[in-house]
Amino acid sequence: MNKVTFRKIDVDGHQIAYREAGPKDAPTILLLHGFPSSSHMFRDLIPHLSDFHVVAPDLLGFGQSDMPGRDTFTYTFDNIAAVMDRFTEVVGIDHFALYVFDYGAPVGLRIAVKHPERVTAIISQNGNAYTEGLSDGWNPIRAYWQDASEENRNALRAFLAPETTVWQYLHGVPDAAREQVGPDGYSLDNFYLARPGATDIQLDLFGDYKSNVALYPAFQAYFREHNPPLLAVWGKNDPFFLPAGAEAFQRDIPSAQVRFFDTGHFALETHAKEIAEQINTFLRR
């Protein structure tokens, strides 16, 4: 694998951090992480994608990218997607396959809907676009969508507790594989979540996630109209995004490939090599 570089670039006044690897004249894969992580989640995947030019940014407000205050930036998925859309332009990647995970899915799919000609393929790793993919684990957040009271907002703070982050990494991972889940991932996520101001930013995004669900019909119409090559690689024991969400892609893209792995939400922690094999086969084809 070519060396991984770590850079920051100015995107309309915001510093966006990103990892980059592979030859720049190779086909590009844009890796978009989820909550509450950063591009660090791709540390084990990137070395297995040596035939490609890989770009993995930290979303605005996450990781090493800027985290502007709520008084200067409104934290919605529309706004974050707009920044990441501009990021692709500033970095100079005109065409790319999208790897979307968790929050990366509504961000990346907004970009795809806006620029369908730029997206060569989609790999969705527990990146949902269908209501049947949402588990009952979303119920406290759904309550906040329906009634944005302070009581309902405060009830979501438990999702940001350090022990909840650890639980997200370990839930659904078979006992025999738990030793593969190193503590560096969830420890780094908890470090970022503990920064001053981060809690209210994340609560804002919990509230705005309803905008993603409202866009599911638009995402699905994009799938039907443009029929992008799509591979779903899914941790089947995910407590938030159910296997039905992966299978639903085939309703709108009949040629979509769906692969399940016996692990949880953060499937790359235990199956990076296996998922990379699926990606390499899929994109080379």
**Helices (H) and strands (E) in the chain — how many of each?**
10, 8
Catalytic residue among 14, 33, 171, 265: 265
Return d(Cα 253, Cα 222) in angstroms, integer.
10
Would you call 265 a catalytic residue per the annotation? yes
DSSP run (H or E) holding 85: helix 77-91
What is residue 17's three-state secondary structure? strand
Peptide bond into 36 cis (omega under 30): yes
C-beta atoms surrounding 171 within 10 Å: 18
> Tokens 């950063």 identify what position?
38
Return d(Cα 217, Cα 221) in angstroms, integer.
6
> Tokens 């990146």 identify what position?
127
Q: List, as one string, the DSSP characters of 107-153.
A: HHHHHHHH-GGGEEEEEESS---SGGGB-GGGHHHHHHHH---HHHH
Q: Helix, strand, coil shares of the chain as percentages rounded to 5?
A: 50, 15, 35
Task: Identify the burial level of 158 via C-beta atoms within 10 angstroms of its C-beta, where 0-12 means exposed, 13-18 middle and 19 or more buried.
Answer: exposed
Residue-wise over 138-147: b if at least 16 C-beta within 10 A, else e? beebebbbee
Return d(Cα 181, Cα 235) in angstroms, integer.
14
Strand pairing category for 119-124 and 96-100: parallel
Catalogue the active-site residues: 265
